[in-house]
Chains A and B, each alone.
Chain A
Amino acid sequence: MRVTSNLMNTQALNDIQNVLRRYGKLNEQLTTGKKVRYPSDNATVAARVSDLDSRIREVQRYKSNISLARSYTDMYDSSLQEMSSIYQRVKELSVRGANDSLSDEDRQAIVTEIDKINDHMKSLANSQVSGKYIYGGAESDKAPVDKNGEIQTSPKANIKKSVSVGGYKVDYGLTVYDVFTTNSGTSVFKHLDRMKDAIASGNNNAIDREMGAIEDIQRSALKGLAEVGGNDRLLELSESRMEDFEQFNTEFLSKESDADLAKVLTDLSMQQVVMQSALKTTAKIIPPTLVDFL
């Protein structure tokens, strides 16, 4: 087979080009730290990396949704605790007010305190955070209860706030209908008014009746607390699950996309050896011809 010097040159050059190309690719991995920089480097890995990136962003979004929701459940929790202790106080006052031997002054004192308590309940119902009424349902711009104790939130706005976590919704909101009405649909503010009137007039039967209602409301406050606690626990679990997701996905992403530096460095040094020997032999390959010997 005929071999010309051009031929040897071309072949040697091609081989050096190949080595250089491999070298270049490894170098790129080293400097960027990534195995795959463009989709054409490796289409399946690139698509997976893109998916993982997107999923991690999604999980981070869910995490911030959850922390917002938990800030609300904290608020609900603290106002419900306060209400529970208020009802306790109301019961004490009612028991005292049912005492026939109470003087007018004492009676008046109890009535005044219950009035104040009612006002306090109304302001609790009208709690705001960042200018939004937290018990207002969809109508967060309207005070749920007016100064006369009438509930102003329309029934169509009685919608629980929810948060989206991993594709499903978790309801965590409470509205004035949930917390400030009894099982029979009467509002706590009216009950406190009636209790006040009953004590003022000394109507023990009425006091008894209203006491029943107050106990009813206290029970639903406790039920509300339990519900809020349950929601918070659910959110907490979801939060830690999202943390886990984020961690798994980040690990997976790193495994897929990050260059294994140890491997790259080893390969690189091997390619360097190959390149050096290629260059050396190429130098020798430019052979002497007959010319040198004639």
Chain B
Amino acid sequence: MPGMSLYGLLNTGLLGVYTAKSAMSVVGHNIANANTPGFSRQRPEIVSTPSLPMNTLTQTSAPMQFGTGSKIEDIKRVRDQFLDIQYRQTNNRVSYWDNIYGNMHYVEQLFGEPGETGIRNLFDNLWGAMQELSSDPTNEGAKGQIVSRADELANTLKDLDFRLSQLQEDFNTEIGNRVVEINNYFKRITDLNGKIRSIKVSGSSPNDLLDERDRILDQLSELADIHVNHYSSGDISIRIGDRTLLNGNTYQELKAYTVPGTKGFYNIFANNNPVKFNDGKMAALFELRDSIVPQYRGKIDEFAITLADTMNLVHEEGFDGSGSITGAQFFKDIGTNKETEMSRLYRIASTFRTHLNNPEVNLLSSNRKFNAGSLSDIQLLRDATLVAIDSSNTPPANSVNISSALAGNGLDEFNTNFTENLFSYNTSEDLLTFENSGGNPLSEKMIIDVDKSFLNDYGFNTKSVSAYRIEQSDIESGIVNFNIDGSNITINLDGSSADNFVSSINNAPSNNFIRAFRHDGAVYISATERVENGDISNIVFDDPDGAFSSMNIQEKEVDVLDFSNPPMRNIYGGDPQLEINGIGIDINLDTDTIDDVVNKINSSNTGVSAFITPNGRFVLKGSQSIDMDLRNSTIKGSVGFFNALGITNNTTDPANTKMTLVSPDMNLDSINSTLKNADILKLDPEIGIVNKLSVVDGIRNNPSNIAIDLGRFDYTTGEFEFTGPNNPSVWEELANIKDTPLLNDGKDGFNGFLSNLIAEMGIRGETANKMHLNSKALNDQIDIERERVKGVSIDEEMSNMIKYQQAFNASARVVTAVDEMLNKVVNSLGIVGR
């Protein structure tokens, strides 16, 4: 039968009906799921059924293709995979920054800065209490206040550290929980993979399952930075970092194992290989737990350790108000209780004043440059007279040595009259020095510049003291006496001539305390180095016959050479060979003082810092950049140099041997033996040293025991002596630590440290907030684009519905028409006239 049969036509109509009906069901499904989260709209793929080639009556040779209707080949969902990838990437970022910001905000609330309860305010209060005690050193209330302020600060720091460590534990628990969640997701995805694959094999699209899988992937992308690979079989594989964790039907379960040595902190493993998260909530949790919060705990530790050790080092040099207690610490020992190979070596201090080992000063240098050819080329601007007094020289007449020089003459003129001390000038180094050339060291003499016309101007360190000046015409005979150092000295003044007057004073029995000399038409009386500060106004004379008083004595200020901070050559004459981390520290023995050495070490940027305590002990410390552990650096120098500094007492090796003080290669035993003569402080390796910060019980229970006075050094006894309860030198020194750069690798004082901490916290939080808002905006935008593609538009579905409904009606009409045609054929075909 040529052409399409009626039954074929019927079939075509029927197919049209089926198509329309199925399409309608897709529309219905879309509308019902318009608000289902994660739903992608579905679209029927309507295709024509294959056409039949048929011969017709009119064309017998070339068959015509007759269409046979339509069918729905597949219902596909409309989804842009690329947008999904983008969305998941930005979702990573949003989740990461959200978690970082949220927790940083919590941390900054804990710190409470800026505010009344913050560390800064408490530290300022402690400093204020130090100032109060400095102004009023015998006020017992002020002593109590220092203790309570220190306690407040310590408790707040400890509380803060506790809360931060709690926060770390919370992060850890959260990590454990999220790992379980990830594993669940993996399980569901592998299930879905199996189902999707089997449906795809049979040729259709498992749309709702695909949607479900995408929903899970979206949620996963919040937690971790997943990379998804799609396969044509319908499977996916998921990769985190460089580890493929899920592939088709199988996945590697993530396990959380605790790391030994931490407090039960988890690390994530899959198949015994570690998994590293680079983005998303997991990455944020790890970074917070392992990097960000420990950094803040580390800063609290640095603050506490530096405060405790610095205050202790200064406090233990002081005497309490009664002068009977010294060597006491203010804070309890923060050192380690059990030494292990991992202990940190924080601080090395000498046990005595640097100059004590060799208290003799034999060389002083000028800090001026002269650019002269020789000593004689350096000329005096004014007449000058220098007097060298050494009370231990015998006979007493030899104890006064006067040397004058006139303006315009060279400095070598002084040397012609000096017997024991000489000026020298080194042309190549442009260095003017004054040196002991025989006899007692300079530190046991008084070198007086009577007219204050030379020493200070020419670059020598001087101090002002008083001396007495009597006109020659005013001298008289008489008797004076004075008490000093427990003995009573009587002097029979001989007023017959100036020379006799002078020798009567100088030759007086047991008189090691005052000396007289003639200068400029007058007689001068000066104290010797045996008197406090070399200042004659510290002697109270008893003048029974009034002779002294009637001599019209003038108190005159003179300059005296100050040898309290001498060049290093006086401490150690050999080559120090000081080297830190391979960088040599160059020390000029003739011009650098111990303070200069400290400055050079601090500016060497090696993480090793130095300072000198008020009573002259040399201290080395490890800074934050080397984890407050000197064992992370290598310090070398000569044996003699370290001996002179008081850190070692090595009598076996020659002084110029270069030795290693500390290095990472030395084990604990060898460090302990090298530094056995030093006062060292070792810390536990873990964070949280702040928990040992606490005021010593002896002081907390009785604040009167606080050290007040640093004392003054007595060169004759070689010890520090108590000066009195009203001299708050301990607290004057400690009040300076507010701004002394002891923290942040020697860049900030406590004040600057706290300021930086607040700024850094603020910047981190501000950045996290901004990044969060930015990435959220981007993520929202991408989500909107996704929605554009996959979202159900009611209008569209409505118009589709109309479309399919009309198509249904029309196809139904075709069936009706064919039915009538069949009726005609069956019942009416071939009946003519019946």
Contacts and interface: CB of A to CB of B under 8 A. Distances in A.
Interface of A: 1-7, 10-11, 14, 38-44, 46-47, 49-51, 53-54, 57-58, 61-62, 64-65, 68-69, 130-132, 136-142, 150-151, 155-159, 161, 163-164, 169, 177, 181-187, 190-191, 194, 206, 209-210, 212-213, 216, 257, 289-291, 294
B757 to A, nearest CB: 9
A40 B761 contact: yes
Contacts of A40: 101, 104-105, 108, 761-762, 764-766, 768-769
A10 B779 CA distance: 12
A194 B799 CA distance: 129
B277 interface: no
Contacts of A161: 726
Contacts, number: 242
Given A2-B789, A53-B120, A136-B726, A185 B537 contact: yes
Contacts of A53: 114, 120-121
A240 to B, nearest CB: 19
Interface in B722-766: 723-727, 732, 735, 751, 754-756, 758-766
A151 B540 contact: yes
Contacts of B751: 54
Contacts of A136: 724, 726
Contact of A155 (B532, B764, B789): B532
B541 interface: yes
Contacts of A43: 759-763, 765-766
A156 B787 contact: no
A190 B784 CA distance: 102
A138 B553 contact: no
Interface stretch (B134-142, B310-318, B358-366, B558-566): B134-142
Contacts of A212: 549-550, 552
A213 B762 contact: no
Interface string B787-819: 111011111101100100000000000000000
Contacts of B724: 136-142, 157, 159
A138 B723 contact: yes
A21 to B, nearest CB: 9
Given A39-B761, A132-B138, A65 B540 contact: no
B407 interface: no
B371 interface: no
B697 interface: no
A58 B482 CA distance: 46
10 contacts: A2-B793, A6-B34, A39-B765, A40-B104, A50-B754, A65-B134, A141-B724, A155-B484, A209-B550, A213-B550
B459 interface: no
Contacts of B125: 57
B84 interface: no
B173 interface: no
Interface in B49-67: none
B538 interface: yes
Contact of B762 (A39, A54, A158): A39
A156 B723 CA distance: 6
A47 B758 contact: yes
Contact of A184 (B108, B553, B780): B553
B651 interface: no
B823 interface: no
A126 to B, nearest CB: 15
A46 B109 CA distance: 13
Contacts of B118: 50
A12 to B, nearest CB: 11
A164 B755 contact: no
Contacts of A38: 105, 108-109, 762, 765
A10 B787 CA distance: 9
A69 B762 contact: no
Contacts of B34: 5-6
Given A10-B780, A38-B765, A158-B538, A213 B546 contact: yes
Contacts of A51: 755
B544 A61 contact: no
A158 to B, nearest CB: 6
Contacts of A186: 540-543, 548-549
A112 B48 CA distance: 143
A289 B801 CA distance: 13
Contacts of B709: 138
A164 B732 contact: yes
B798 A289 contact: yes
B758 A41 contact: no
A206 B546 contact: yes
A164 B540 contact: no
B780 to A, nearest CB: 6
A136 B138 CA distance: 13
Given A69-B135, A213-B549, A183 B555 contact: yes
Given A38-B765, A159-B724, A294 B798 contact: yes
A165 to B, nearest CB: 10
B47 interface: no
Interface in B200-217: none
A57 B124 contact: yes
B194 interface: no
> A44, A139, A142, A294: which has the most chain B beta carbons within 10 Å?
A139
B791 A7 contact: yes
A164 B726 contact: no
B551 interface: yes
Contacts of B121: 53, 57
B791 A39 contact: no
